[in-house]
C-alpha cells in the first residue's frame, strides 16, 4: 500500500520573534553606522553608543537565526494512495 504524505511548516511565537530579530538587525546596524559617521564628524566623538548598537545588532542577528531554527513547527499528514 502506498501513501501520500503532505507536510506543512510554520513558525510559532519563538520563530516569529526570530524572523523579526533576523530582519531587524541589519536595519539597527545601519542606524548605528549613521550614528557612528555623525559622531566621527563631531568635535568630541563618543563611540560607545554606536559600538553598543553594533553589538546588539550582531547578537540580534545570531539570536534570530537560532530562534527561527527552534521555533519551527512541522505538521505531516499521511493519506492512503488510491490505486488505479
28-60 tens-digit pLDDT = 999 999 999 999 999 999 999 999 999 999 999
Domain boundaries, the chain: 3-80
What residues are paired with 75 via a beta bridge? 8
How much is the mean pLDDT over the chain? 94
Higher pLDDT, 82 or 62: 62
Summarised one tens digit per residue, pLDDT across range 65-75 is 999 999 999 99
What secondary structure letter does DSSP report for 83?
Answer: P
Nearest alpha-carbon partner for 39 in 20, 19, 60, 53: 53
Amino acid at each position: 500500500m502506498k501513501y501520500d504524505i503532505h507536510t506543512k511548516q510554520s513558525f510559532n511565537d519563538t520563530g516569529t520573534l526570530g524572523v523579526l530579530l533576523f530582519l531587524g538587525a541589519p536595519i539597527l546596524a545601519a542606524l548605528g553606522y549613521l550614528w557612528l559617521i555623525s559622531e566621527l564628524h563631531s568635535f568630541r566623538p563618543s563611540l560607545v553608543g554606536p559600538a553598543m548598537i553594533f553589538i546588539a545588532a550582531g547578537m540580534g542577528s545570531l539570536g534570530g537565526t537560532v530562534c527561527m531554527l527552534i521555533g519551527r513547527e512541522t505538521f505531516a499528514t499521511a493519506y492512503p494512495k488510491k490505486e488505479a
